[in-house]
A and B are shown apart, each in its own frame.
Chain A
Amino acid sequence: MLPFILKRVFQSILVLVVTGAIAFSMFTFVGDPIDNMLGQERTMEDVERLRTQLGLDRPVPVQYFKFLNEAAKGNFGVSYRQGREVSEIIMERAPATLELAALSAIFAVVMGIALGVFTAIRRDGFAANFIMSASLIGVSLPTFLIGILLIYLFSVELGWLPSFGRGEVTQIGGWTTGFLTESGLKALILPAITLGLYQMTLIMRLVRSEMLEVLRQDYIRFARARGLSNRVINYRHALKNTMVPVITVIGLQLGAIIAFAIITETVFQWPGLGLLFINAIQFVDIPVMAAYLMMISVMFVVINLLVDILYAFIDPRLRVSAK
């Protein structure tokens, strides 16, 4: 077990070093930072002085190492546009995105598994067929369109839910939360559904097909032959076996939820990291872009690492040390 985890941690670090290189190269290739920082009226001396001051005259590998070193400490420099520490801006925006992502992940996983199991067990029922057909819409409609349709229905026509923003938020330490006020919760509903719908249908279809496959296995037949009830067979024996491959996909999809948040946040004007990133691109605010890129890749890597460990936890055959 330990060598397995160490190997995965090592691979994760390798991935981060490579994405770090990509983030770093943005500074060099997407315009010259000196041009961005100094105005039109500058002297050659100013340019040289700033170059030395920022360490940009040193060899590229040295600069990269310095970048990694600073990035590991959470220091990504100063935003070109806002003139504030990037880490500060990110910390300010992160709660909004993380709360949204967490809620839509819970929505996608819980609903996806529940509906997947339901449609697998009632394979030929009317409700199951209806859900399967309806899920095609979830898979095929683009996120922004779903968002706009939901806004039209629930905000414009029915007027039940807000169409943009986070509503009222409460400050707890460095964290702002929308979970504690009514308007904050209301504001979360539409973006969370929009963001999680695609993942939900994906998880549901995957759970359904995996479960149908598992229900065909000999050990399920043998469980029936032992007289176990359908409930025990479906929810104890079949579901656990179904989850083994599903967990990998869920792990990848959770990362995707955070990454896809860009579109949802734009549609709902959600003051999170996605919106920050979109604005940063418009203004070529490279430190913010680099920091965002690094943060997303850290999350992806960490989630997948956890999934791998969880995988070994569920499936005894992967516990190498068990032998």
Chain B
Amino acid sequence: MTEPVLSIRNLTVEIPTRHGLVRPVKNVSYDIHPGEIRGVVGESGAGKSMTGNAVIGLLDDPARIASGEIWLKGRRIDNLSAEEKRAIRGREIGMIFQDPLTSLNPLFTIGEQLVETIQLHLKVSAAEAKERALALLDRVSIPDPKTRFDQYPHQFSGGMRQRVVIALALCSEPSVIVADEPTTALDVSIQAQVLDLIKELASETQVGVILVTHDMGVIADTTEQVTVMYSGEVVENGPTDRVLSAPEHEYTKSLISAVPRPQVKLHRFPQVSYGGRETTFKIEDLARNWHKPEPSKSGKLVEVKGITKKFLEKSAILPSRRTYFTAVDDVSFDIKDGEVFGLVGESGSGKSTVARMIGTLLPVDGGQIHFDGDDVTAMSTVEMANYRKQIQMIFQDPFSSLNPRMKVESIVAEPLMHHKILPPDQISGRVHELLDRVGLTRAAATKYPHEFSGGQRQRISIARALATQPRFLICDEPTSALDVSIQAQILNILKDLQEHLGLTMLFISHDLPVVRQMCDRVGVMKQGQLIEVQDTETLFVKPEQQYTAQLLDLMPRLAQLSG
């Protein structure tokens, strides 16, 4: 075996806080060889990103390297001065961040950003830098680089932007790339393309890649070596095949078992049980206080009939010259009482727009939505208030869907007060009960959202959604911002709610394994149209449309774990 291009030896990072030193990274060691992709996996807070930041010399104050060594091509780099570290950044070690939408400066063309970086590291003329930039864009398979060169980031799709970010990381042929969750924000199909590109680049340019992710599927598909981290420590290290098929450490075993399986349907999501953090959740108590929803008149709670949504794409003074983008095109489906209906598709396929129209957050441009037989699009103000009480939404991002200036108690109480469901003196009792039931303590009521982790915040969102005792719950990517282990907890809560409270649900996700576990029937959307509606089992075993089959094919699979 060749010499490792990067070695991390017994690295410990510490952060001084009021409560003493915290060590988010403890005694971590691993090597990266040229052309090798090393996965680093673990849940958020496990210290995997922090290790990457230490390597590239970008630890945020006051975090610092307490002990250990980092060697790059035989040179020790952890003790260099800030200026020397900067010289290595971008030149020797490239970095790819999670969110391609925010990692490019919106006010500069991608050409400017590329040329700037190339000129900084390679000391070439502007013309040479431009030539190299065009070659790089071509290298990362961006079509028509000459035109794209002068465009701004907002003119690129998410996947294309991540390619630009990769091109930027490759500017001066670095020996190592630290890719921090490079595909978490992308669709399945785009994710597969970006991962393929990274694999290709690694084998071609012999760059060593540290791929930080929480997605076991990505690890299985892409990496040769894997390092599993748990609360700052490396718990397991080895070839990916071996670690996935015969994990040695208890945590790895439990992490692997928590990955939703695309192949089989299980009753509940297995949770990560390591470390005794599994919370018990007594939904039965909530069910006692819950008046069971009346069955709908027709047996179909929601009927969507040919709804259409158009967005203005190009404005003009003359109406005839305006162009519209049809986000949702004549979509019809219905959801039976107590059913979980899934909507899948790539981003931009219109799934969330459908959800927003049903939730009356967006007006429909055509078609009707019937809720228990009543046309939602033609309701009076009073009927609308009543309708809104019966439907509730849970959003994707638990960080932005809770008002940061409100205490949790007020957040959960708001729907109760708005709809005048309870007299004021009973509200706080109900709020505590709701928080209890989603597995949060009473003390949570007096805190603000920022004091909670992503999973806990999503529980708060669920408590808020349940406050009005809705009949219908719209979940728009409720777990895509969460770790596998947290995802399992949240999905189990939703499943239990659905079973015990007889809730009807619209469940939107791009994560097909999750959809298979959650949903009774699934609709597939493509470019605004609903192309297929099937029972979940049929869809996954024998899809009718070719597009659906393609989507299913792109799922990163844990082939080794099919049992």
Decide if A and B are genuine partners. yes
Among the listed A6, A218, A317, A323, which residue makes an inter-chain contact with B99, where contact means beta carbons less than 8 Å apart? A218
**Interchain Cβ contacts under 8 Å between A and B, 17 examples:** A3-B315, A6-B317, A219-B103, A222-B95, A222-B104, A225-B90, A226-B90, A227-B86, A227-B90, A228-B90, A229-B86, A232-B116, A232-B120, A240-B105, A315-B106, A317-B106, A317-B154
> Which residues between 219 and 256 of chain A lie within 8 Å of chain B, taking CB atoms?
219-229, 232, 236-237, 240-241, 244
CB pair B97 A228 closer than 8 Å: no
* A217 adjacent to chain B (CB < 8 Å): yes
Q: Which residues of the partner chain B approach A225 to less than 8 Å between Cβ atoms?
A: 56, 58, 89-90, 94-95, 97
B361 within 8 Å of A (CB atoms): no
Q: Is the CB of A227 within 8 A of B89?
A: yes
Minimum distance in angstroms from B321 CB to a CB of chain A = 9
CA distance A220 to B313 in the complex (A): 30
With both beta carbons as reference points, the residue of chain A lying nearest to B83 in the complex is identified as A229
Size of the chain B interface, CB-CB below 8 angstroms: 36
* Interface status of B281 (Cβ within 8 A of chain A): no
Which residues of A have CB within 8 Å of B102? 217-219
Query: Nearest B residue to A320 by beta-carbon distance?
Result: B315
The answer to whether B369 has its CB under 8 Å from any CB of chain A is no
Q: Is A9 an interface residue when CB atoms closer than 8 A count as contact?
A: no
Asked if A218 contacts B103 (CB within 8 A), the reply is yes
A50 at the interface (CB under 8 A from B): no
Beta-carbon contact of B95 and A322 below 8 Å: no
What is the bound-complex CA distance between A18 and B88, given in angstroms? 61
The total of chain A residues at the interface (CB under 8 A) is 29
A174 within 8 A of B: no
Residues of B within 8 A of A3 (CB): 315-317
Name the interface residues of B88-130: CB closer than 8 Å to any CB of A.
Answer: 88-91, 94-95, 97, 99, 102-109, 116-117, 120-121
Say whether B105 contacts A241, CB under 8 Å: yes
Known: A217-B102, A226-B168. A314 touches B107 (CB 8 A): yes
Q: Is the beta-carbon distance between A222 and B87 smaller than 8 angstroms?
A: no
Q: How many A-B residue pairs have CB under 8 A?
A: 90
The dominant DSSP class at the A interface is helix
A6 to B315, CA, bound (A): 12
Give the chain B neighbours of A314 by CB distance below 8 A. 107
Q: B97 and A222: CB pair below 8 A? A: yes
Contact B107 A241 (CB under 8 A): yes
Query: Given A221-B97, A222-B97, A227-B120 in contact, is the A315-B107 Cβ separation under 8 Å?
Result: yes
Of B56, B107, B155, B169, the contact of A240 (CB 8 Å cutoff): B107
Kindly name the residue among B94, B106, B120, B165 whose own CB sees the greatest number of chain A CB atoms within 10 A. B106
Chain A residue at minimum C-beta to C-beta distance from B321? A3
Please give the distance in Å from A6's CB to the nearest CB on chain B: 7
Interface residues as binary, A302-323 with B (CB distance below 8 Å gives 1, 0 otherwise)? 0000000000001111001111
With A218-B103, A219-B104, A226-B117 given, can you name 19 additional A-B contacts, CB distance below 8 Å? A3-B315, A219-B103, A220-B105, A222-B95, A222-B104, A222-B165, A225-B89, A225-B97, A227-B88, A227-B120, A228-B116, A229-B120, A241-B107, A244-B107, A314-B107, A315-B106, A317-B152, A322-B155, A323-B155
CB-contacts of A38-96 with B (<8 A) = none
Report yes or no: A224 in contact with B165, Cβ–Cβ below 8 A: no
Q: Which residues of B contact A (CB under 8 A)?
A: 56, 58, 86-91, 94-95, 97, 99, 102-109, 116-117, 120-121, 152, 154-155, 165, 168-169, 171, 313-317
Cα distance A144–B313 in the bound complex, in angstroms = 51
**A237 near B108: Cβ-Cβ < 8 Å:** yes
Instruction: Tell me the minimal C-beta distance from A319 to chain B in angstroms.
Output: 9
Task: List, in ascending order, chain B residues with CB within 8 A of A229's CB.
Answer: 86, 120
CA A317 to CA B97, docked complex, whole Å: 22
Mark A127-154 against chain B: 1 for CB-CB distance below 8 A, else 0: 0000000000000000000000000000
Specify the chain A residue showing the minimal Cβ separation from B109: A316
Would A224 and B58 count as touching, CB distance under 8 A? yes
Question: Which residues on A sit within 8 Å (CB–CB) of B104?
Answer: 219, 222
Which residues from A are CB-within-8-Å of B95?
222, 225-226
Is B154 in contact with A316, judged by CB distance below 8 angstroms? yes
Q: Which residue in chain B gives the minimum CB-CB distance to A241?
A: B107
Chain A residues closer than 8 Å to B120, beta-carbon distance:
226-229, 232
Nearest B residue (CB) for A230: B86
- Give Cα distance in the complex from A220 to B106, angstroms: 11
Residue of B nearest to A240 (CB): B107
Q: How far is the CA of A232 from the CA of B117 in the complex (A)?
A: 11
Cβ-defined contact, A320 with B314, below 8 A: yes
Q: What residues of A have a CB within 8 angstroms of the CB of B91 in the complex?
A: 227
With both chains docked as a complex, state the minimum distance between the C-beta of A7 and any C-beta of chain B, in angstroms. Answer: 8
A241 contacts across to B, CB distance below 8 A: 105-107
- The residue on B at minimum CB distance from A316 is B152
Residue of B nearest to A10 (CB): B317
Q: How distant is A253 from chain B, measured CB to nearest CB, in Å?
A: 22
Q: Please indicate the chain B residues that have their CB under 8 angstroms from the CB of A219 in the complex.
A: 102-106
In-complex Cβ contact of A316 among B107, B313, B314, B317 (8 A): B107
Q: Is A323 touching B121 in the complex (CB atoms < 8 A)?
A: no
Shortest distance from the beta carbon of B182 to any chain A beta carbon, whole Å: 12
Closest to A319 in B: B152
Shortest Cβ gap from A248 to chain B (Å)? 15
Contacts of B88 in A (CB 8 A): 227
Smallest Cβ-Cβ distance to A229: which chain B residue: B86
* A226 contact set on B, CB distance < 8 A: 89-90, 94-95, 117, 120, 168-169, 171
Inter-chain contacts of A244 with B (CB < 8 A)? 107
Tell me which residues across on chain B come within 8 A of A6, comparing CB atoms.
317
Q: How far is the CA of A6 from the CA of B316 in the complex (A)?
A: 11
Per-position binary interface string of chain A over residues 96-110, scored 1 when its CB falls under 8 Å from any chain B CB and 0 otherwise: 000000000000000
Q: How far is the CB of B264 from chain A (nearest CB, A)?
A: 38
